[in-house]
Structure 1
C-alpha cells in the first residue's frame, strides 16, 4: 500500500489551520437542511435542540489552541507539515499511539465521557486515508485530498453506513426505494438517492462519510449501484438530516439536566433526495469487493475501538465517582454489598484503561510504516464493553435505589421560599445539605434514568453492531488470525503428554 509524500517537520512555527471553537460554530452556519419536530432549523448553533451540544464541541476545538493543552492535543503532521490533532494522523510507533490516547482522553474528560461521536471518532477512519489511498483507486487522489483537508482543519466528520431496516427479509436490490444507490452518472459526478443511518451528530458535523457496513446480496451484480462510499458536506443540496427528538430541548435547567442539556449528540437519518456528488468526493463506486474490504483495510475497526475504550474509561471513572459520593450521602457506603459493587465498577474502569495500554503498546503493523491498535485486544474490548455499562446501571439501581427518585421536581423548588426550609430539613443527606444531595442525584438520574440516559444504554449495547454479531466477529477475527489454531495446538500438546499406557514425555514419564 502506498503512502502520501512525507513532509519535513519544522522544529516550530508549523502552520496551523485547525478550527477554533468560534470558527467551528461559524462553519455550521452553512445552509444545511436539518429537521427536528417538523421544523427546518435555520441555525443549529442557536436552536434550542442543538445549541449547547454545539458549544460543547466548540469547547473541544478551543483545547487545540489553548496554551495549556495545545502540545497535549496536537502534533506536526509528517504528511502535510501542518499542526494537527494527534489522532487525526496515523501513528508510527507505540509512543505516538499513547500520545494520541492522551489527546483523546482530554477531549473525553471535557464531556465527562458522555459525548461519543466527538470529531476524533471518525479520525479512526479518516487518518488512514493518508496511507491507504492506493486502495481507493481510481479514486486514490480523492482519498489523499480529503485526508489533507480533514487533518489540516480538524473537520468534524459524521458517518452513515447502515441501511434502513425497511424489510430484512429482502435483499438490497429488492428495496431500491429505500437503500442508497446511484440513479444517474454524469461527466462530473453521480446522483444518489436513498437513506442512511445512524448519522449520529450529523447536525453538528462538517461532512458526512457515507458508505456501506454490509452489502450482502445473493444475486451477484444486482446491487452494484449500492456499492458506494463518498464524502458529502452537510450543506450538500438535497441532503436532509432528519433528527430524533432532542433531549437538550427538553432539559429544564443545568441543575436538573446537567448532562442532557449540553451533551446530546442527536442521532439522525440522512435522506438523499437526488443528491449530486462530484467525482472528487467519491471513494468507492460500483465495487462490491472494495466495499467488503474497506473497513478492515482502513484501520477504522481497531482505531475506532481504541477511541471508544478511552472514552468509556473516562465515563466509568465519572460514574464511579457519582456512585461513591451517592452512597456516602445515602449513608450506605459502609455496607458490604455496596462496597463490592463500587469495587466491581472500578475494576471495569481499570480493565478498560488497561486494554487501551495493551492496544497501544503491543500494536499491529499497518500500511506505510504505521502501527494500529492490536485487533484481537480491540475485539475483546468490543465484545465485553456493553457489559460494563449494563453492570453500572445495575449498581446504581441497587445501591442508590429510591434515592434517585427522592428529589424535588426541579431546582425551582429549592428557590421557593415557602418550600426551602422544609426541603432543607427533609431532603438532606448524610453529611450533605438538601441542595447538595439533590444536585448529585439529579446528575446521577440524568446519566441513567432520563431519555438521555436510556439512549446511552441503548447506544452502548448496539453501537458496535448487534451483540451476537459482535461475538461472532470476535470468533471470526480470532480464527482468521490463526489464534484458534494456536490455542488448539496447546490442547494437542497437553494430550500428547499421555496415552493409554500413561505419561509419554517429560518428567512425568521419567518418574514412571
Structure 2
C-alpha cells in the first residue's frame, strides 16, 4: 500500500486588521514617558492625573464605539488593501454611499463627545490620511513615507494631533524669531534632531503622535522646512499645558456642576521639541518649496472641513436642545422674543448641516477612482461659523439671562438635608420642573456657554479656520480659482449687455416710446 500523502502546510494568514480599542489606547499612553507639565509639576501618567484622566476616557469611548457590533454599519469600513476594517473617515470614498457613511461616522463620533471634542482622532484621519495615500507623489522623495504613514494611521486609527502655528513672538516683523521655529539641528544616517516650538497644540497631552508642519509664513532655509510626525513620548518632546478645566472641577466642583468641562477638556499646550530625534521614515517633507505648500496638498482642506463642520453641527444640536430646555425651565419658551432667539440658533444649526450635506453629496473627482467633497461648501462654513457662534452664545446669555446667575453653589447643597427643602421650594423651575432638574439643566448650560470653558470654546470656534480676515480673503481668492467669480461677473455682464445709452439691445424687449 502506498502511504497517504501528508497535507501540504498552508501559509499563515495575515491577521485581520482592526483599530485599537479604548483599553488599548489608554494602555498606550499610560505612564509612557511623555513629558507633560501643568501647574509647575510634571505629570507622571495622564490616564490617572485628575487634570486629564476623564478626557482621556472620553477619547477611549470613541475607539470602543468602533468595536461595538451595533455600530458596525456606521463606524467600520473595509480596508482597500488587506483584510480588515477601519474608521470610514480614514479612507477616501469611491462612491456616494461611502461618502455618506463617512459623514455619518464623523457625526457618530462627535455625538459621543456631545460635539465638544474638537480635535478627535478623526480630524487628522479625515484631513491627512487619505491625501498621504492618494497624493503620495506630491511628497516627492518622501512619497513612500507618506503612503506608509497613511497605512499606519488607518490600520491603527491613531490618536494623532497636529501643530502648525509658530509662537507669535514678534508680529511686527515679517519673519518669526528663528530661535523658536522648528528647525533641524543635526542630521544622521538614521534621521535628524529637531528643536523649536509650536503653540495651540490641542489635545496633545493625550495624543499618541503629533504631525509637525509649516503654515502661512514662508520659509526659505531648508533647516526650517521639515514636515514630520513624531511619537509624543519621544525624549525631548515637551508639553506645557494651559489651565486644566478638568483639574479645576476635580479640586472644587462635581460632575453635576461641570458635566462637560470636567471630561471633555482638550488641553491646549505649548509644544516644545528639545533636540528630539525623528527617524527618516517619519519625514514627509524636507524642502522649503514643499513645506510652504503642505497645507495645499490636494484633498486635505476639503476633507478636514467636512469633519470639522459635522462636529460643529453636532455641537449646535446639543446647544440648541439645551437652549430649549433652559427656556422651558425658565418659563419663557412661549415668549415671542425667546422663540425668535431659539429660532435664530436653530437656523444657524440648519445652515451648517446643509453645508455638510452639500459637501457629502456634491462630490468632485479626485485621482484614480477616489472622490472628495466640494470644498466650496466647506469654505462657506469657514466664513459663517466663527462669527455666528459668537452671536449665538450672546443670544443665549441674553434670553436665559439671570437664570444662569442665581444657581445653588454646588451639588452638595442638595445633599444637605437643611438646605435642600429651601431649594426645592424657592429655586424650582417652571412647568412643574423640580429644583434639582432646573439646576442640572442650567449648570450644564453655564458650563458649556457661560464658564471659562465656554469662553474658550467661543474663542476656539472663532479662530478655528484661522483669522477672520484671512478666512474671508481666502473665499475671495478661491472664487477666481474655482470659476465662481467668472460665473458671477458673467451674469452681471449679460445683464449690462442687454441695454446701452440708446435703450434696450435685447431684441425681445420694447424700448420706451415704441409701440408693442
Q: TM-score range by the shorter chain?
A: over 0.9
Could you give the per-residue CA deviations for residues 28-66 of structure 1, whole angstroms, max 9, x where no partner exists?
122111111111111100100100000001011001110
TM-score by length of 2: 0.93
2:293 match? 293
Distance 1:80 1:385 in 2: 39
The structural deviation recorded for 1:506 is 4.5
1:190 match? 192
Distance 1:469 1:490 in 2: 27
The structural deviation recorded for 1:126 is 1.9
Distance 1:343 1:152 in 2: 43
1:207 match? 209
2:134 match? 131
Contact 2:17 / 2:83 at 8 angstroms: preserved in 1? no
Matches within 5 A, 1:48-87: 48-87=50-89
Distance 2:460 2:368 in 1: 34
Distance 1:205 1:156 in 2: 5
Secondary structure at the aligned position of 2:122 is classed as coil
1:225 match? 223
The structural deviation recorded for 1:382 is 0.7
Secondary structure at the aligned position of 2:274 is classed as strand
Structure-2 change in CA distance of 1:338 and 1:504 (3 Å): same
2:283 match? 282
Secondary structure at the aligned position of 2:271 is classed as strand
Contact 2:195 / 2:274 at 8 angstroms: preserved in 1? yes
Contact 1:358 / 1:377 at 8 angstroms: preserved in 2? yes
When structure 1 is superposed on structure 2, of 109-118 and 363-372 the one drifting more is 363-372
1:5 match? none
Q: Give ranges in structure 2 of 5+ residues lacking alignment.
A: 1-13
Could you give the per-residue CA deviations for residues 276-333 of structure 1, whole angstroms, max 9, x where no partner exists?
1111100000x22212322222422111111111111111111111111111111111
1:397 aligns with 2:397: yes
Distance 2:222 2:477 in 1: 26
Structure-2 change in CA distance of 1:433 and 1:358 (3 Å): same
Name the Cα RMSD after superposition: 1.5
Distance 2:299 2:290 in 1: 14
The structural deviation recorded for 1:362 is 0.8
Distance 1:154 1:439 in 2: 35
Structure-2 change in CA distance of 1:361 and 1:506 (3 Å): farther
The structural deviation recorded for 1:263 is 0.3
Contact 2:215 / 2:294 at 8 angstroms: preserved in 1? no
Contact 1:14 / 1:76 at 8 angstroms: preserved in 2? no
1:169 match? 172
Contact 2:213 / 2:294 at 8 angstroms: preserved in 1? no
Structure-2 change in CA distance of 1:14 and 1:331 (3 Å): farther
Distance 1:414 1:472 in 2: 53
Contact 1:89 / 1:128 at 8 angstroms: preserved in 2? no
Distance 1:342 1:171 in 2: 44
1:454 match? 455
Distance 2:167 2:348 in 1: 34
2:146 pairs, out of 130, 143, 146, with 143
When structure 1 is superposed on structure 2, of 385-394 and 275-284 the one drifting more is 385-394
Contact 2:22 / 2:59 at 8 angstroms: preserved in 1? yes
Could you give the per-residue CA deviations for residues 389-436 of structure 1, whole angstroms, max 9, x where no partner exists?
112212211110000111101010111111111100110010211100
Contact 2:181 / 2:196 at 8 angstroms: preserved in 1? yes
Structure-2 change in CA distance of 1:45 and 1:200 (3 Å): same
Structure with larger Rg: 2
Could you give the per-residue CA deviations for residues 309-359 of structure 1, whole angstroms, max 9, x where no partner exists?
111111111111111111111111111111111111111111111111111
Contact 1:348 / 1:388 at 8 angstroms: preserved in 2? yes
The structural deviation recorded for 1:369 is 2.5
The structural deviation recorded for 1:14 is 8.4
4+ long deviations beyond 3 Å: 509-512
The structural deviation recorded for 1:197 is 2.0
Contact 1:171 / 1:216 at 8 angstroms: preserved in 2? no
1:497 match? 498
Secondary structure at the aligned position of 1:139 is classed as helix
Matches within 5 A, 1:333-352: 333-352=333-352
Contact 1:162 / 1:198 at 8 angstroms: preserved in 2? yes
Contact 2:397 / 2:450 at 8 angstroms: preserved in 1? no
Contact 1:89 / 1:127 at 8 angstroms: preserved in 2? yes
Distance 1:363 1:371 in 2: 6
1:486 aligns with 2:487: yes
Distance 2:97 2:151 in 1: 23
Contact 1:246 / 1:264 at 8 angstroms: preserved in 2? yes
1:242 match? 240
1:466 match? 467
Distance 2:299 2:389 in 1: 26
1:122 match? 124
TM-score by length of 1: 0.94
Could you give the per-residue CA deviations for residues 74-94 of structure 1, whole angstroms, max 9, x where no partner exists?
110113443110001111223
1:271 match? 272
Distance 1:182 1:480 in 2: 35
The structural deviation recorded for 1:95 is 2.2
The structural deviation recorded for 1:249 is 0.5
2:36 match? 34
Contact 1:44 / 1:204 at 8 angstroms: preserved in 2? yes
Secondary structure at the aligned position of 2:359 is classed as helix
Contact 1:36 / 1:245 at 8 angstroms: preserved in 2? yes
Equivalences, count: 494
